[in-house]
Amino acid sequence: MNRDIQRILVDEARLSERVNELGRAMTADYAGREPLIVGILRGSFIFMADLVRVCDFPCTVDFMVVSSYGGGATSSGNVRILKDLSEDISGRDVILVEDILDTGRTLYNLRDVLSRRGPRSIRIAALLDKPDRREADITADYVGFTVPNEFVVGYGLDYDQRYRTLPYIGILKPEVYTSS
Ligand code: XMP
Ligand code: MG
Please write the tens of the pLDDT for every residue from 23-37: 999 999 999 999 999
Q: How far apart are CA 159 and CA 99, in angstroms?
A: 13
Kindly report the pTM of this predicted structure: 0.94
Whose C-alpha lies nearest to ligand 1, atom 13?
Answer: 152
Tell whether the model's pLDDT for residue 69 goes beyond 90. no
CB of 157 within 6 A of ligand 1: the answer is yes
Spacing, Cα 62 to ligand 1 middle (Å): 20
Tell whether the model's pLDDT for residue 75 goes beyond 60. no
Output the pLDDT for position 32. 97
Spacing, Cα 37 to ligand 1 middle (Å): 20
CB of 109 within 6 A of ligand 1: the answer is no
The candidate with the shortest Cα–Cα distance to 167, out of 5, 15, 7, is: 15
Output the pLDDT for position 73. 37
For residue 106, the ligand 1 atom closest to its alpha carbon is: 2
Tell whether the model's pLDDT for residue 149 goes beyond 70. yes
Judge whether 166 and 2 are in contact, CB under 8 Å.
yes
Ligand nearest to the CA of 100: 1
Buried b (16+ CB within 10 A) or exposed e, 48-64: bebbbeebeeebebbbb
Spacing, Cα 33 to ligand 1 middle (Å): 30
Cα 68-138-86 angle, rounded to 5 deg: 55
For residue 68, the ligand 1 atom closest to its alpha carbon is: 2
Quick one: pLDDT band at residue 12, thresholds 50, 70, 90? very high
For residues 112-116, give the mean pLDDT. Answer: 97
Output the pLDDT for position 126. 98
